Amino acid sequence: MNKNKEKLLAKRYSSEKRFQFLGKSAIFMALLFLAIFIFKIFSTGYTAFQKTWLIVPVNFDAETMYLDANPSKEDLEEADYFEISLQSMFNLDKNANEKQQNELKKMVSYFFEREIKQELINDPSLLGKTKDVYITASDDLDQVFKGNYPRDLPENQRRVTDYQLKIFDQLVEQGKVESKFNLSFFTYPDSREAELAGIASSFMGSIFSILVCLAIAFPVAVLAAIYLEEFAPKNRFTDFIEVNINNLAAVPSIVFGLLGLGILLAVFQLPRSTPLVGGITLSLMTLPTIIIACRASLKAVPPSIREAALAMGASRMQTTMHHTVPLSMPGTLSGTIIGLAQALGETAPLILIGMVAFVNTIPGSPMDPAASLPVQIYIWAESAERGFVEKVSACIMVLLGFLIVMNLFAQIIRHKFEKKWS
């Protein structure tokens, strides 16, 4: 008897230990996956925040640009920089033949003319002088410099020629290659050229979409939740509505995309590819999430508070507006932010309503065409160029950062309001 008891006790302890071990290993696994994911993203993505510049001496020769000695600002704007730009590239190897000259030109981005022009406009006194100018290297050389490019491949299998590599190595030796923080990643819109591609357009697109989504979903959802929870009679019809709201929350997002496509674009003729349409579509998706969060936090308001207000002679409306709703706000707001964060990461419906289009301008309003961050990731991940690989990871980092900031905000709101009321 006693021995049996002891055996049983030992068994109970060991099963508890086993259970704890399983739990701990589950957590360890989860953390491991997360670590691998984050490591992968960061290790491939961090280089995207650096950009390789070639320092090339440029001779701002007035004659070549058909300018007089004291040109006006307009003259500088309209002058022809192509010739001096080409010339400064050719000067890197004075003995280059025509083919090699062409290769020299391709060592920098097609943007180089504009960069040289900007330099002169910023400092007109350079006219007639020679100055070292930072020029964005082509994405292939960028990758070479970052060490992402296998140099041992046979020449016909890589996009950088042996000649380009030779010149590049010379420049590296002279200290004429520099890597600096890639500001253009944040300020430039998308581009076909990896070295010039930025997230400004998709970032703004995302922000506009979220704002539109918030502006539509929040008031509608909160009003719906308040009515359902506080005023609607409890009958079969409201039960039916409740079930359907819960179902709506489980509808795959692509269905909402189709809805946006079929109704917003086809019927209402709203402009394609715009954050307006994207925001409305996302708001449909967010609506049930916010309704559910809001109803849950309305339910969590102790009935004693409602009774207290009613017993003081407050009407139902006053009870709701003065007491219940303010008390439910922290929960509602954090639910809203979680919903918005979900919407922020949504890709499928946005692709359907055309936000996948290539947009190389930065949108100034929700009516302008734009991409969004997750869609940008999708676009870049599809691209063949080596330079986009790191951009995808970088974009993911930005998106994750955005989400973390939003969730942090949700937590802060929650804490702030709860402290005030407890």
Residues forming contacts to another protein in the complex (CB under 8 A) are 233-234, 302, 304-315, 318, 322-323, 327, 421-422
Residues ≥6 apart with Cβ < 8 Å to 87: 59, 64
Task: Evaluate the CA torsion angle 215, 402, 192, 258 in order and state its sign.
Answer: negative
Provide the terminal-to-terminal Cα distance of the chain, rounded to the nearest Å: 53
Nearer to another protein, 101 or 238 (CB): 238
Q: In angstroms, give the least distance from the CB of 333 to another protein.
A: 16
Q: In angstroms, give the least distance from the CB of 275 to another protein.
A: 38
Q: In angstroms, give the least distance from the CB of 325 to another protein.
A: 13
Token pair listed for 176: 């004429």
Nearer to another protein, 258 or 321 (CB): 321
- Backbone angles phi and psi of 175, in degrees to 5: 75, 25
Q: How far apart are CA 192 and CA 184, in angstroms?
A: 14
Nearer to another protein, 263 or 321 (CB): 321
Nearer to another protein, 194 or 329 (CB): 329
Question: Residue 332 burial by CB count (10 A; 0-12/13-18/19+): exposed, middle or buried?
Answer: buried
Q: In angstroms, give the least distance from the CB of 7 to another protein.
A: 40
Nearer to another protein, 3 or 234 (CB): 234
Nearer to another protein, 154 or 313 (CB): 313
Nearer to another protein, 268 or 421 (CB): 421
Q: In angstroms, give the least distance from the CB of 311 to another protein.
A: 4
- DSSP states of 307-336: HHHHHTT--HHHHIIIIIHHHHHHHHHHHH
Q: In angstroms, give the least distance from the CB of 230 to another protein.
A: 11
User: Which parts of 87-187 are beta strand (E)?
Assistant: 130-136, 177-181
Degrees, nearest 5: CA angle 60-66-69: 65
Helix 387-421 × helix 200-226 angle, to 10°: 30
Which among 404, 384, 394, 11 is positioned nearest to 193, based on CA atoms?
384
Q: In angstroms, give the least distance from the CB of 306 to another protein.
A: 8
Give the alpha-carbon dihedral of 312, 316, 321, 323, to 10 degrees: 40
Determine contact, residues 264/283, Cβ cutoff 8 Å.
no
- DSSP states of 11-44: HHHHHHHHHHHHHHHHHHHHHHHHHHHHHHHHHH
Q: In angstroms, give the least distance from the CB of 313 to another protein.
A: 4
Nearer to another protein, 90 or 417 (CB): 417
